[in-house]
Structure 1
Amino acid sequence: MAIDLDEQYGQTPLDLDEKAGLIPEHLTIKGDLNDWEQENLLPAVRWLKRVRSPDVLSEGFCRELHQQMFGKTWSGAGTFRKSDKNIGCDRTQVAVRLNGLFGNTRWWVDNATFPPDEIAARFHRDLVWIHPFPNGNRHSRMMADALLRRMGQAAFSWGSGGDLVAANEVRARYLAALRAADQGDYQLLLAFVRS
């Protein structure tokens, strides 16, 4: 089977489901959508730096951060997903699972159950598993970084800032680390987030 090099490099056309809720109508391929989303993350990073003492472990902050990240891209930014995906809990359980995660994470922080990096890595993995938004991994990474800052720690480097959206070696290492964490082994994830 021949590999379509255009599709390999982000030229795959967006399907109707992917276009639903998309604000910029000029975007027609995945590569352009990824680039657009990446450009629009910078204002969210600036917003995070201006927010004073946010309650990172709250549904309100979780939704607002997603809105800040994707509000110029998706009409449903900040709104929990309305369909089930190949990853994540049942869509009807998102709010309940998030509340449980926030409570567990507060306990970990308050009781120093794990070192700060491990708290943030576990938080990230669990947030990815809940998958509250259709496009959630970048949001989950930014939430983990916000949690680290709230604990007085430096944000993760996430594989030295490599592209975690495109199919590449850095993304493959990230996904392998998440899969290992799914099985209870956080060593790969802890190494990756500070690499």
Structure 2
Amino acid sequence: MMSKFATPVAFFAGLAVGGATAWYCAKEKYAHIAEQEIASVKEAYARREQEQPAETPATTLTPGRPPEKPSIVDYAQKVQEAGYTDYSRTVEPKPGPKPGELPYVISPDEFGEIEEYTKVSLTHFADGVLADECGEVVDNVEEIVGDALEHIGEYEEDCVHVRNDARRCDYEILEDLREFSEFQETLPPNH
């Protein structure tokens, strides 16, 4: 009975001794390889430090103090000397109106949604005249409503809404099939 018990014990004892021997040998081998790698890196840094030009000071670290940085002026000069191109200055800006200066078409839902903006109703007559409710003709159509007359009917038939941020106004332009002279006949005589 002893032989049946001794065989597995001997097997596991041999396995443990063999595993420990393999672990020790592997540990020694990789420790030696690591030492060689560390030595080669130290040697490479030593060569690099000797080859470094004298005018470039090596950054020294003092415990408790951050490394010294070059001034921004020195850095900018170094970048300029390296051939920096300021691409933001290579293209001339296009002349034209600034954002918010040109009137633009808005949806009917947007009309009057800004409380600080004045709501104005204008009428575009068949003969091309643009006038307000009192019959006052709008002379500077482009400045007031931009190209809005070209957009009549896009949202609603015979109507377009325009926002002019420069004047802080929302305009509703209704199309009228009459000519302006016919409209003037309907105005009170004092007008």
- Which has more strand, going by share of residues? 2
Regarding TM over 0.5, the answer is no
Q: State the TM-score, normalized to the length of structure 2.
A: 0.21
Q: State the TM-score, normalized to the length of structure 1.
A: 0.20
Q: Which has the higher contact order (CA 8 A, sep 6+)?
A: 2
- Which has more helix, going by share of residues? 1
Of structures 1 and 2, the larger Rg is shown by 2
